[in-house]
Amino acid sequence: MSRFKRVRCSLLVLACLGTMGTAFAQTQAAARQAALANIGRTATPAEVKAWDIDVRPDFKGLPKGQGSVRQGEVLWEAQCASCHGSFAESSEVFTPIAGGTTAQDVKSGRVDGLMPGANQPNRTTLMKVSTLSTLWDYINRAMPWTAPKTLTPDEVYAATAYILFLGNVLPEDFTLSDANIREVQDRLPNRKGMTTAHAMWPGKELGGTARPDVQGSNCMVNCKAEVVVKSFLPDYARNAHGNLAEQSRGVGESRGVDTTRPASAAAAQSGSAVAQAERAPAGIPVAAVVKTAASGAASVMPLLQKNTCVACHGMDNKLVGPSFKDIANKYKDRADAVNYLSGKIKAGGQGVWGAIPMPPQALSAAELAQISQWLAQGAAK
């Protein structure tokens, strides 16, 4: 058990003791505490202080300090620009941080670029963030990505000031500090862009009254047996952030898939459980996919119709896409035809038969397996 968990356990016991009213509950709690006597210890004030770093929208928790735009620029170039770009404009590791806000937005507190119909290619941090505390807090706790919590409060002020300068919220000669941060909050472009009407925050425990916009419950009876996955990462985007197989942690069971190859090829070559599981839509055991047997067209025809494959594919004739007979012929000698075909049907594709693309097809794992096997076995009528 990690130290962190042990300390949390002991905090929990204290919390229980404090709230339980009846003698019975106290006896129980005492018994529990006795049982846990040797587990954990009370967190030290220094430990609590190290965790208690959040800065709230009303700036409660904000440390004193200051940093200028110019200091921020130096810091940014040294510690942030490699990932976020010199002007916080890069989309290399994340969506851009600055950009997309105007002087008018600073005045109105609503970002025009977020309005319906706005011709804005990318939503940046400065377009979306409505509380300056969030920006400060996030940099303070999480950045730079490779060395979080290494910045001093003054450096966090400087970085925040520089980002705001890049977004034309602050002038070049500005020094941001705990004394003037509220005034700067009043210049944040999207400061009026946040609503709490849907009650995600504050929750009921803090006196919120509206109902959350999403209601959920665990399904216990008559639950859907099949999960239909409606969107997949297209092949061309798989490797956008380099090869995940080389980036994943060297410990634990989950290794990233080889993103240098299309999903189907990566699976066929490695044959790994991860790759196979990746190919099967979520929640469906791979075995169930593989076991489903295909027979003649009589059994697949309803599936081809139901999934509107027949709108683009004829049995023997080319329509929008190639005929099923031609597809079957093309791959009849390919050992991994079932894998390949199910990968292609799922992900869609372009360029094998011509310029017209096939959009990704959302069908169940069982249907996918059945159709692919039928095709791989010659697309018999």
Contact (Cβ atoms closer than 8 angstroms) between residue 267 and residue 279: yes
Give dist(CA 318, CA 326) in Å, integer: 9
Give dist(CA 328, CA 337) in Å, integer: 9
**Min CB(232)–ligand HEC separation in Å:** 13
Residue of 305, 352, 378, 381 that binds ligand HEC (CB under 6 A): 352
Residues 119 to 138 in contact with ligand HEC, rule: CB under 6 A: 125, 135, 138
Q: Number of C-alpha atoms within 13 angstroms, CB side, residue 140? A: 22
The reply to whether 313 sits near ligand HEC by the rule CB under 6 A is: yes
Give dist(CA 372, CA 358) in Å, integer: 16
The reply to whether 361 sits near ligand HEC by the rule CB under 6 A is: yes
In our burial notation (b when 16+ CB lie closer than 10 A, e otherwise), range 244-282 reads ebeeeeeeeeebebbbebbbbbbbbebeeebbbebbbbe
The reply to whether 363 sits near ligand HEC by the rule CB under 6 A is: yes
Structure-token pair, residue 341: 């075909």
Nearer CB in complex with ligand HEC: 13/143: 143
Number of residues that bind ligand HEC (CB under 6 A): 43
Residues in Cβ contact with 24 at an 8 Å cutoff, skipping those fewer than 6 apart = none
Using CB under 6 A, which of the segments 34-42, 186-194, 204-212, 309-317 binds ligand HEC?
Answer: 309-317
The reply to whether 323 sits near ligand HEC by the rule CB under 6 A is: no
Residues in Cβ contact with 100 at an 8 Å cutoff, skipping those fewer than 6 apart = 111, 113, 120, 122, 123, 124, 126, 127
The reply to whether 188 sits near ligand HEC by the rule CB under 6 A is: no
**Min CB(253)–ligand HEC separation in Å:** 22
Residue of 41, 201, 356, 378 that binds ligand HEC (CB under 6 A): 356
Residue of 73, 84, 130, 158 that binds ligand HEC (CB under 6 A): 84
The reply to whether 333 sits near ligand HEC by the rule CB under 6 A is: no
Residue of 277, 297, 312, 380 that binds ligand HEC (CB under 6 A): 312
Query: Locate tokens 């049907």: which residue?
Result: 345
Nearer CB in complex with ligand HEC: 98/245: 98
Angle at 203 between CA 201 and CA 208, to 5 degrees: 95
| Torsional class of 232: left (φ above 0), alpha (ψ -120 to 50), beta (otherwise) | beta
The reply to whether 353 sits near ligand HEC by the rule CB under 6 A is: yes
Structure-token pair, residue 336: 């991994």
The reply to whether 97 sits near ligand HEC by the rule CB under 6 A is: yes
Give dist(CA 39, CA 13) in Å, integer: 11
Using CB under 6 A, which of the segments 60-68, 92-100, 101-109, 210-218 binds ligand HEC?
Answer: 92-100
Nearer CB in complex with ligand HEC: 139/275: 139
The reply to whether 71 sits near ligand HEC by the rule CB under 6 A is: no
Work out the burial of residue 321: count CB atoms within 10 Å of its CB; fewer than 13 is exposed, 13-18 middle, 19 or more buried.
buried
Nearest to 239 by CA among 264, 265, 257: 257
The reply to whether 315 sits near ligand HEC by the rule CB under 6 A is: no
The reply to whether 345 sits near ligand HEC by the rule CB under 6 A is: yes
The reply to whether 43 sits near ligand HEC by the rule CB under 6 A is: no
The reply to whether 351 sits near ligand HEC by the rule CB under 6 A is: yes
Using CB under 6 A, which of the segments 2-10, 82-90, 184-192, 241-249 binds ligand HEC?
Answer: 82-90
Residue of 176, 261, 349, 369 that binds ligand HEC (CB under 6 A): 349
Structure-token pair, residue 376: 């791989």
Q: Which residues bind ligand HEC (CB under 6 A)?
A: 79-80, 82-84, 93-94, 97, 125, 135, 138-139, 143-146, 159, 307-309, 311-313, 320-322, 327, 341, 344-345, 349-354, 356, 358-359, 361, 363, 371, 375
